[in-house]
Structure 1
């Protein structure tokens, strides 16, 4: 009888193994509620960092430290962008001041050249012109060369020396020496064309200027235009004489780009 009762008690004992997964589930739910509660109390930045940290773990991407470094770099970049920069008005004012000073300097040089021309009786052979792109000194070919020749006359060397002395006060300016002829063809062993004659004349006069060692050769260039940039008609002797010339141009540094086009237009 006693054995039978023990067997019945054992059969009536319930299986409680289901409590283990149930307790695990409750633990997970509790942890979830704790996380949700914690998330509700952190600010948006912390939530973003936490989200990116989980993403980094799951995907192998950059973590919170990398994100913080990026944020630091962004702040540094923003800080640099906040540094004061020169205003466009300030730059324009500075440019206008430089142009004003340049205008005064070139006007003073023109006055000095005009005085030299007048005092030396060269008004028929030299003239100066100041425009928005350059100060140009125009020298008649007969003041520098014999007809059809490119060797600078001995007496013209004094003129070249005087011009070079004045130019050395403007060491930062580009100087262009250009040669021009009339349209009468030339065909000699030395000069097959007017191109050759005008080019060699410009080069030879530039070399005389550069005897002055105070001038910087890097600022100088020589150009031959031949007969293709006349300043007068070639149908008269007077016009042809005006076209045979050497020009020494002091190019402005602070002219506008549109004004710089006048350097080319001045020879047309």
Structure 2
């Protein structure tokens, strides 16, 4: 009997298995926590957290939700890949191009229907849609007050711009190089600025447009599109331009979102 008791007492101690199994469980929990922290979805992380809290500590412990919040999770967001950003910008640029093409078509139809082909022109490039209006269609010679019949044109343009509330609009005035000096307009700077501002004010009568998106600039004689050596060239230089600016530039030039001022 004593011999059997001795053999039983010499049996290997297996109590180390308990802390070992606890250690393995904690390691598993740690790796799952790390995986959950790498996810951008805070709700999924909370679900994993709650599940392991219940298993390991009855609902509280190292994965307690109080230890984390939405601000903490922001630092673990996965950054978008450059290719994904570029693809998104390209898609936005494509939509903008379609929008501006649609607006150009509306304007061209209006110009044709109202017999304004000699006074108005539209041009679409990679950064903006520009509407060019000759000064004689808008103003009396040497003045900045918009003609009554020209107000209809401004109102028609403002109605079309309602469809594109997010675009920046710049109204710019231009003159030829013949100096002007009178009591009201001491220089071409003053005349071009007053013309741009007065035309923009009519656009702004449309309360559906956001004034923060609009600005008026006077360039005087310093941005000619033709020679000032002939009457025809000077007539082309006397103009008001309405530029609808697209928001996104070519991602090959800059990866990201920016306002295009050109």
Shorter-chain TM-score: what band? 0.5 to 0.7
Cα separation, 2, equivalents of 1:106 and 1:222: 21
Give the structure 1 partner of residue 178 of structure 2.
184
Residue 237 of structure 1 pairs with residue 231 of structure 2: yes
Q: Residue deviations 1:78-119, cap 9 Å, x none? A: x97664332111111111100000000000000110010011
Structure 1 unaligned segments of length 5 or more: list them. 1-72, 74-78
Which one of 88, 93, 96 corresponds to residue 102 of structure 1? 96
Cα separation, 2, equivalents of 1:164 and 1:255: 25
Give the structure 1 partner of residue 32 of structure 2.
none
Tell me if the contact between 1:173 and 1:252 (Cα under 8 Å) persists in the aligned partners: yes
Tell me if the contact between 2:196 and 2:240 (Cα under 8 Å) persists in the aligned partners: yes
Between structure 1 and structure 2, the one with the greater Rg is 1
Residue 204 of structure 1 pairs with residue 198 of structure 2: yes
Question: Per the alignment, do residues 261 and 238 of structure 1 end up closer, same or farther by CA in structure 2, a change over 3 Å counting?
Answer: farther
Question: Per the alignment, do residues 87 and 250 of structure 1 end up closer, same or farther by CA in structure 2, a change over 3 Å counting?
Answer: same
Give the structure 2 partner of residue 228 of structure 1.
222
Structure 1 segments (4+ residues) deviating >6 Å: 259-262
Cα separation, 2, equivalents of 1:195 and 1:134: 24
Tell me if the contact between 2:246 and 2:260 (Cα under 8 Å) persists in the aligned partners: no
TM-score (norm 2): 0.68
Greater per-residue helix proportion:
1
Q: 1:256 Cα deviation (Å)?
A: 3.4
Cα RMSD, aligned residues only: 2.3
Cα separation, 2, equivalents of 1:263 and 1:231: 19
SS in 2 for 1:162: helix
Give the structure 2 partner of residue 23 of structure 1.
none
Give the structure 1 partner of residue 242 of structure 2.
248
Give the structure 2 partner of residue 3 of structure 1.
none
Cα separation, 2, equivalents of 1:197 and 1:175: 20
Cα separation, 1, equivalents of 2:223 and 2:181: 20
Give the structure 1 partner of residue 47 of structure 2.
none
Residue 143 of structure 1 pairs with residue 137 of structure 2: yes
Give the structure 2 partner of residue 88 of structure 1.
82
Cα separation, 2, equivalents of 1:262 and 1:129: 16
TM-score (norm 1): 0.66
Superposed counterparts of 1:167-178, under 5 Å? 167-178=161-172
Question: Per the alignment, do residues 80 and 182 of structure 1 end up closer, same or farther by CA in structure 2, a change over 3 Å counting?
Answer: closer
Question: Per the alignment, do residues 184 and 83 of structure 1 end up closer, same or farther by CA in structure 2, a change over 3 Å counting?
Answer: closer
Number of residue pairs the alignment of both structures matches: 189
SS in 2 for 1:191: coil
Structure 2 unaligned segments of length 5 or more: list them. 1-66, 68-72
Give the structure 1 partner of residue 121 of structure 2.
127
SS in 1 for 2:122: strand
